[in-house]
């Protein structure tokens, strides 16, 4: 039975970093994943098509959750080509680089084995994808900046 799981944490306001998660007494990593995001987990399959799987706090956007804005998620060509719906206009697909979502709270990224349906260690290639997408200063500040932009636009309407 596997007792550790290699992951990458994408913290609010910081660069992604590796972390080794410990299994509980039943061999489950659920509790460790939940601790990483500060609550119940929700997968975000749109980010890397589950390679790696990204989990966030499922209640991150709810008032009182205490989760701060982390990263803005901008639509990719792949998201547009498969028809992800635009949050700004539900009658059309997203456009590349359009704001798709804002993640609140820390994220945890792990590998996923589609044959078993189980989480697995994140690979070096997957770790590189996470760092490339979420490691720049622009990405680190994107969640806070988009929330501020939305509030400013709402004030001027």
Token pair, residue 88, equals 């700004």
Token pair, residue 141, equals 């500040």
What pLDDT score was predicted for residue 51?
A: 84
d(CA 131, CA 110): 13
pLDDT in tens, 120-145: 999 999 999 999 999 999 999 999 99
pLDDT in tens, 36-85: 999 999 998 778 877 899 999 999 888 778 899 999 999 999 899 999 99
pLDDT in tens, 87-120: 989 999 999 999 999 999 999 999 999 898 889 9
d(CA 89, CA 104): 22
Per DSSP, 92 falls in state S
Cis peptide before 125 (omega within 30 of 0): no
Domain map (residue ranges) of the chain = 4-69+102-155
Token pair, residue 23, equals 């299994």
């Amino acid at each position: 039975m596997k007792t550790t799981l290699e992951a990458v944490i994408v913290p609010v306001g910081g660069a992604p970093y590796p972390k080794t998660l410990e299994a509980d007494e039943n061999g489950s990593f659920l509790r460790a994943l939940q601790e990483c995001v500060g609550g119940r987990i929700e997968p975000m399959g749109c980010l890397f098509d589950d390679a790696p799987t990204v989990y966030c706090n499922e209640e991150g956007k709810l008032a009182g959750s205490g989760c701060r804005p982390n990263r803005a998620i901008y639509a990719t060509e792949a998201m547009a080509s498969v028809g992800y719906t635009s949050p700004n206009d539900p009658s059309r697909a997203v456009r590349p680089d359009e704001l798709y979502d804002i993640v609140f709270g820390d994220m945890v990224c792990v590998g996923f084995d589609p044959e078993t349906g189980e989480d697995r260690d994140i690979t070096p290639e997957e770790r590189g994808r996470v760092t490339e997408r979420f490691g720049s200063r622009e990405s680190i500040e994107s969640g806070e900046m988009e929330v501020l932009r939305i509030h400013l636009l709402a004030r001027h309407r």
